[in-house]
Amino acid sequence: MSFIKCECGHQNPEGTDICQNCGRPLSKEEKSKRLADMRYDGAAIRSKTHKRSIVDKIWNFFSSVKIGVSIIIAILVASAIGTILPQVFYVPATSEAQAAQYYEDNYGLFGKIYNALGLSDLYGSWWFMTLVGMLGISLVVVSLDRGIPLYKSLKNQRVDRHPSFLKRQRLYGEGNVQDPDAVMQKAAEKLKEKRYKIREKNGALLAEKGRWARWGPYVNHLGLILFLFGVMLRALPGFYVDESMWIREGEISAVKGAPGLYLENKGFSFDMYTQENTNEVFSEAIDRVGSVASNYQTDVALYETPEGALPGSTNAELVKEYSIVVNKPLKHEGFHIFQMDFKLDELSAMTFALEQKESGESLGELTVNLADPQKEYDLGNGAKVELLDYYPDFSGFEDGEPQTATPVPNNPAFLFKMTTPETPEGETSFVAIRQTLEPLGENTYKLAFQSADTRDVSGLTVRKDKTIPVIALGGLIFMIGVVQGSYFNHRRFWIRKSDDGRIQVAGHTSKNWVALQRELDAVTEHAGLPAYTDQRDKEGHSDKSEGVSNT
């Protein structure tokens, strides 16, 4: 690495803007500026010094804030595009073809193009993930690129900077005073009172406070990196479980994704606000809106097979009983079980009577449990009904064969064989809701629908997310960093006396210049420092009270 030698004799690494020792401007660019560029205290950052190799080029790409902002804006724009139409996971479709159909049916040509371009699954697309990945890389690179030189530069600060360094600060004043030493001493007093750390050397003074605020951006970037890392972890097996399950009232079912856990649905309830059961302040709203849901609740019992039990063994022990409601999931061993959905009044059983068609005389009744139908129902006295086939969600005939759309008993249909003493050969009957067919010719007997039982079904979601601690830590660190960098600032004053009795004073802050000025005002008044100006304020110092009433 080559060095630049400053007039003061200090060897600075190539790319340094401001001499790290005395503070003279070094680079041509820096010399041409009226005010010092204090962003990294003029230290050389890696991306400004290494420009040759491929690694340097990649490094420089990701360390550029211009690129960083471009990535942020690209993610922003992409995110916005993803909200124009609902994303595919909010669309009622179970296959890609169905989804494509949905977009076309509902949103016409625009929807078709939107879906075809992959915008309907924008946030899961490779290019969106690449953008987020680039953001992560950029954060790592930029933090190393600038953080390290900034740290070194602030750690090795010299007290007696060159006069040109002071002159090139935004807040600057100079002038003759009666007794420079007394002024310096009084200034130091006042600054100490304001909790500045004071260092003095060769008639120069450096007062500094809040340096730690400078690390704020680095801390918050670290938090973001950790957060993104946590999100990435999800892709690993075992870190993330996300299942949904339907469970009927009265049923016990294995918890999906959680081996060894079983859940019993002891009852689902769904409540509404009514004029009677709520506070009267709500009555107007209930009148206006009509029905408003007040609660969805599944009462459950959770069972667990003891550790080491044989697979498939049924000696599960009760863990706890709990009422899952929205906003209050059941929590057990890192698993969360949420109330997400429900179906009211699903058919659970149907009762039929075996009747002689002509006389209407009944030979007895049978009840088919729709979740677990029997093969044969013996009605006694030589009458029996066999269930040849069962179609839980009958959707019509295809090539003469009855079809079922789903395994859910939404529209049950049955193929029965009825045998009675009168018809020992047996008669076949196809029974669906409001429909009876006799495929093999006219029957003597029929199965007459008597009644149906229903029960509710709870839709639950099972989640386990081991990445949460990492993500939460990332969020916490981000918050600490962003508060550290935004609510605190790094303030410095340099005061310097020269042999001819002149005093120079300069001030710098990472942000909040008004507060810095107020502090300098107080010190100036107390110590009799020369008046200063804000060299950036184009409208001038005198203009300060414009639009300001109480100063």
Least separation in angstroms between CB 519 and another protein: 15
Backbone angles phi, psi at 364, to 5 degrees: 135, 175
- State yes or no: residue 34 binds another protein (CB under 8 A): no
H-type alpha helices, 211-368: 216-233, 283-289
Residue from the set 278, 356, 367, 395 that interacts with another protein by CB under 8 A: 278
- Cβ-proximal residues to 99 (8 Å cutoff; 6+ apart), any chain: 88, 91, 93, 115, 120
Cβ 403 vs Cβ 395: under 8 Å: yes
CB-nearer residue toward another protein: 160 or 456: 456
Contacts 24+ apart (CB under 8 A), 309-316: 309/260, 316/262
Say whether residue 415 binds another protein (CB under 8 A). no
Write the DSSP symbol of residue 470.
Answer: H
Which does residue 331 bind out of ligand HEM, another protein, none, counting CB within 5 to 8 angstroms by kind? Answer: none
Query: b/e for 258-275, b at 16 or more Cβ within 10 A?
Result: beebbbbbbebeeeebee
For another protein, the closer of residues 179 and 543 by Cβ is: 543
Residue 182 interacts, among ligand HEM, another protein, none and using kind-specific CB cut-offs from 5 to 8 Å, with none
**CB nearer ligand HEM, residue 224 or residue 366:** 224
Establish if 461 lies at the interface with another protein (CB under 8 A).
yes
Residue bearing tokens 């993500």: 471
30 binds another protein (CB under 8 A): no
Tell which positions 61-80 bind another protein, by CB under 8 A. Answer: 65-66, 68-69, 72-73, 75-76, 79-80
If one asks whether residue 235 binds another protein (CB under 8 A), the answer comes out as no
Contact between 545 and another protein per CB under 8 A: yes
> What is the contact surface with ligand HEM in residues (CB under 6 A)?
65, 67-68, 71-72, 135, 138-139, 142, 146, 150, 217, 220-221, 224, 482, 485-486
Nearer to ligand HEM, 66 or 434 (CB): 66
Residue 339 contacts residue 300 (beta carbons within 8 Å):
no
367 bridge partner residues: 351
Q: Site for another protein (CB under 8 A): which residue of 94, 313, 359, 549?
A: 549
* Partner whose footprint covers residue 285, from ligand HEM, another protein, none (CB < 5 to 8 Å by kind): another protein
Amino acid identity, position 32: S
At 275, the amino acid letter reads: Q
The yes or no reply on residue 536 touching another protein (CB under 8 A) is: yes
Stretch that binds another protein, among 312-320, 348-356, 386-394, 470-478 (CB under 8 A): 470-478
293 binds another protein (CB under 8 A): yes
Q: Is 340 in the site for another protein (CB under 8 A)?
A: yes
Under a CB-based contact definition with an 8 Å cutoff, are residues 367 and 348 in contact? no
CA distances for 534 relative to 176, 205, 497, 511, 517, angstroms: 19, 20, 20, 14, 9
DSSP state of 267: E
Residue number with CB closer to ligand HEM (146 or 161): 146
Return the DSSP state at 189.
H
Q: Are 263 and 249 in contact (CB under 8 A)?
A: no
Check binding of 538 to another protein (CB under 8 A): yes
Residue 246 interacting entry, from another protein, ligand HEM, none, C-beta within 5 to 8 Å by type: none
Least distance (Å) between residue 137 CB and ligand HEM: 9
Nearest distance, CB of residue 206 and another protein, angstroms: 24
Q: How many CB atoms lie within 10 A of CB 487?
A: 10
CB under 5 to 8 A by kind: which of ligand HEM, another protein, none does 281 bind? another protein
The distance in angstroms from the start CA to the end CA of the chain is 53
Residue 106 is a binding residue for another protein (CB under 8 A): yes
Q: Which is nearer to ligand HEM, 473 or 522 (CB)?
A: 473
Judge whether 68 and 142 are in contact, CB under 8 Å. yes
CB 462, CB 449: distance < 8 Å: no
Q: Which of 255, 251, 249, 267 is nearest to 333 (CA)?
A: 255
- Binders of another protein: how many residues, by CB under 8 A? 76
Q: Return the number of the residue (220 or 298) whose C-beta is nearest ligand HEM.
A: 220
Contact flag: residue 395 with another protein (CB under 8 A): no
